Amino acid sequence: MIHYPGPGCLVEFMQGNRVQLAMILEEQSGQLRLYAMSRRELRLPASRLLPWSGPRFALPASRQEIQNILEQTHTKREALALEIDPVYLWELSKDDISQAPARWFAELLWQSPDYDQIAACGQALLECKTHFKLHGADFELLSEEKVMARLEENRLAKERGEIFTVGRCLLPVLWEASRKNQIPVSDEQLAGCLSGISEEQRACLPRLEALLRTRMSEPDDHESSLVWRELSKSFPDNQHLPLNLLEAWGKLPPHYNFALDRIGYQSGTGWYEKYTDEIDRMLCSAAEASEPISDLPFISVDTRETEDFDDAFHLAKDKQGNFQLHIAIACPACSWPWRSELDKTVLRRASSIYLPEGDIHMLPDPLGVNGLSLRAGQMHRVMLGCFTLAPEGEVLDFSLKLARIRVSANLVYEDCEALLEDEQEGAQTDNLPENAPEASPAFKYRAMLREACRLALCLQRRRVEQGAVIVVRPEPKVSLHPCDEQGKKPLRVEIEPMSAMDKTQMLVGEFMVLLNGAVARKSMEWDLPLIFRTQHVALPKDYAGIWTRPEEIARVVKSLPPAAIDSVPRPHTGLGLSAYATISSPLRRYIDLFNQGQVLHYLMHERPLFSKEELAGMLPLISSRSDSVAAIQKQRPRYWKLVYFKQNGDKKWYEATIADENDLFVTVSLHNEAFLLRGKRHLFGEKAMPGQSCAVRVGKVHPLDNEIQIMAVEEY
């Protein structure tokens, strides 16, 4: 080893992240004049040289002679370096030393290494950045932890490179297909754009798909941001680009509900398959229940599509003319595995979601749809709310208990509403025989339904007297009609007004409000921690009432903040109640399941299942998850309505009523679509006022971005 290289000496240095070989032509005060293999002369400080040098050759020599020496030496050293396994040297040395010069490692391979062998060893160690690092004249052996980290980093870097290569070929084709709405791309198109890609590179296609899914569901993900930023720089700025590409690729169906992925809410059956043992234990426990049996004929009233029946009721009058109302609630809390992994998973699901494309249930289907759902003809364990009410609706007595019941009938809103409408119109349906073919399934229970409607009206009237603000805003039915089998026709969205079911929905709603309010008051007597729903705000007295017109609803809703959940009982102004804690839908809402568990444990042991402190710790997660799921329940039907407007084009006129106005904007409510739209003031006449009828045309509809504009207005 030459420690002080001078003229004629071969040296190596780093340039462009590669080892360069050169011969020193002249040295003066630490500055070197070199002749490199590139046939160029350059000046370099001696400090830039790598810590091995030699051999030395006699000068002067011609440039061609120097060039020959450099090329021969380079070829030899390159061949030697290829034979060296630096990882083997690291394994051999890691337990003995922390650092050593290149010569030391060369001596592990050769007895008396020459200049070329030492230089070749140094080059090999320099290339092995995962295991060695050059410090001054010595190579540091990296720790095993650092080695593993660097190997993983290299693996990821290689994957990123492969993804870049494949993505640059595939993604432009997918984007063009998405832009022209020609999705998914055909197998022939995919094969064509990937024709220049090797089989090894094609192996990274699943990783490219995983990257797109990550960017779709976690747009702020840090790990994927680097590769995505590089891949997407040639595309328009589009927050839904990953979703568009996946749909064009055929990896996701059109109109995919990516919002579920963003909150980690799984549909289907796969999410609960690992909880089979716990589900079976719950079903066995329900089958072995020993609570007293009630022989009252309970009925449930739900939509025709309902699968998870979680409430039923029976109503009769006693000799004093008081109402005896029994409300039965499905009781999953009786055998619920609190604090288990299933419990934590269901907590994060927070609520069932009911969408035009289908329902997604909070509980596993074997429980929420089958085993614990209050299906007619089956014996069920329930939590029974027992009320005695005066004829005008005042609660005279209330108690809670466990019981077993057999629901007599699962009725639907339409049938019940027809009976109640017949009564109002004076139809003589009472004279029809119960087994008449024209009689609906609800006919047998007509007397109970009519008494229930009268009681519900009394309950509603009392709430209004207590300041309740009741908004009646029927939602239309949004139905989806899939494309044809050949996929030539796109999915079609239709919106049709729902049949008026004001009485039946009011009946069921008032009974549930009655039960939840009574449970809240009872929990205050017991000092039982529950999750309360509150809306504590002062309103003018004239806001109390039942509001149906768009301009009336807009006026009162402005002053009503969204209801919040709290561990402290506070008034719920909108409902006209001093406290409110939901317990009526434990199959559909985790808050109700939790409250039912608290009440049940108190009834059995006179103490809560969860303390106030434990509830306070759980509440932030319960609240945030409930809000996230509620946002999807609200936004997804709006998305489908926007798809409906888009497919109808910008020539169709929609009937509307002006709901609100100010100096800049006018808000209208579309009649049939139950859709609020805001337009610029100049589109409307100077005398536009709330309550005024009009018609509007809409355009520039972008469902994914929740964008729509009023294009024109006709005033009536």
pLDDT tens digits, 428-452: 444 444 444 356 889 999 999 999 9
H/E stretch holding 606 reads none
Helices 341-349, 612-648: inter-axial angle, 10-degree rounding: 40
The list of the chain residues with pLDDT below 70 reads 1, 422-439, 484-489, 499-501
User: Which of 250-281 are b and which e, b meaning 16 or more Cβ less than 10 Å from the residue's Cβ?
Assistant: eebeebebbbbbebebeeeeeebeebeebbee
Other CB atoms within 10 A of residue 377 CB = 9
- Check residue 287 and give left, alpha or beta (phi > 0: left; psi -120 to 50: alpha): alpha
Q: Do 581 and 316 touch, CB atoms closer than 8 A?
A: no
CA torsion 249→255→260→261, rounded to 10°? 10
Strand 469-471 relative to strand 532-534: parallel, antiparallel, unpaired?
unpaired
Instruction: Give dist(CA 585, CA 308) in Å, integer.
Output: 10
Instruction: Give dist(CA 238, CA 248) in Å, integer.
Output: 15
Instruction: Give dist(CA 219, CA 240) in Å, integer.
Output: 9
User: Which of 422-438 are b and which e, b meaning 16 or more Cβ less than 10 Å from the residue's Cβ?
Assistant: bbeeeeeeeeeeeeeee
Let me know if 584 is exposed, middle or buried by CB neighbors in 10 A (0-12, 13-18, 19+): buried
Domains and CATH numbers, the chain: 9-142 (no CATH), 157-254 (no CATH), 270-630 (no CATH), 649-715 (2.40.50.140)
* Structure confidence at residue 194 (pLDDT): 87
Helices 205-217, 144-179: inter-axial angle, 10-degree rounding: 80
Strand 469-471 relative to strand 545-547: parallel, antiparallel, unpaired?
parallel
Which residue in 272, 452, 408 sits closest to 346, CA to CA? Answer: 272
Q: How many residues make up the chain in this entry?
A: 716
Instruction: Give dist(CA 502, CA 472) in Å, integer.
Output: 8
Instruction: Give dist(CA 306, CA 311) in Å, integer.
Output: 12
Which residue in 475, 469, 467 sits closest to 498, CA to CA? Answer: 475
* Residue 478 tokens, joined: 């949004």
